Amino acid sequence: MGETPRDWRDERIAELEQLLHEALQRIAELERMLDLNSQNSSKPPSTDNERARKRRPRRKPSGRAPGGQPGHQGHCRELLPEEQVDQIQQHIPPSCRECGQELSAQDATGRPTRHQVFELVPKLVECTEHQIVSCRCPACGETTRSVLPAEIAHSGWGPRLVSLNNTLSIICRDSRRILPP
């Protein structure tokens, strides 16, 4: 015996009710996602929509100027002692700002203000040539040739360059065969 039109309609209604229930759940989830902003989620403030930006409380001005306040202890890098500095360059004013008289290092007063700049050296790799010398004994006439020290005899690369190459090959995922000139 076949289905009656009433059974078919009941099944179709149940199917449509299920679809409606799923659609309402999806709409509720999408509306919840629309309400997410930087204040109630991990989203950055730049992704907030206009509505969320308007709801964001504005900070009241404090009346103080921006930046460090008078009496605030500043933070700066400690200066190296002069003994540890590689070079010292003195900058002497060429002339007096008042009268224009020429000035020299003998005119300096007090201790100079110090400012240190750190820089990489232009030549990162140093090449050392090891020369193996042969000597003839003046007593017996035998020629004796020197030998390389054991720590350098096995490779053309020093220990620091090998370490740098190994580190960079891991970090940069580069071939170990490509070494600097």
Query: Does 20 fall in a domain?
Result: yes
Half-sphere exposure of 93 (CA within 13 A, CB side): 13
> Does 76 reside within a domain?
no
For residue 180, the model assigns a pLDDT of 56
145 inside domain: no
Q: What's the confidence (pLDDT) of residue 146?
A: 86
Q: What is the mean pLDDT of residues 10-17?
A: 91
Residue 68 CA: distances (Å) to CA of 14, 64, 75, 113, 126: 69, 10, 10, 22, 45
Q: For residue 14, with 0-12 CB atoms within 10 Å meaning exposed, 13-18 middle and 19 or more buried, which class applies?
A: exposed
Give 126 or 26, the one with higher predicted confidence: 26
Beta-bridge mates of residue 98: none
Domain that holds residue 162: 151-181
- Would you say residue 28 lies in a domain? yes
Q: pLDDT by residue (tens digit) across 33-90?
A: 777 777 778 888 877 777 767 766 778 888 888 888 888 887 788 889 989 998 888 8
The structural domain count of the chain equals 2
- The Cα–Cα gap between 164 and 124 comes to 11
Model pLDDT, residue 21: 96
Q: pLDDT tens-digit profile of 105-121?
A: 888 888 888 989 888 77
Phi and psi angles of residue 15, each rounded to the nearest 5 degrees, phi first = -65, -45
Does some domain include residue 37?
A: yes
- Burial zone of 157 (CB within 10 Å; 0-12 exposed, 13-18 middle, 19+ buried): middle
Q: What is the pLDDT of residue 22?
A: 95
Q: Which residues face 136 on adjacent strands?
A: 143
- Please state whether the predicted TM-score (pTM) of the whole model is above 0.85: no
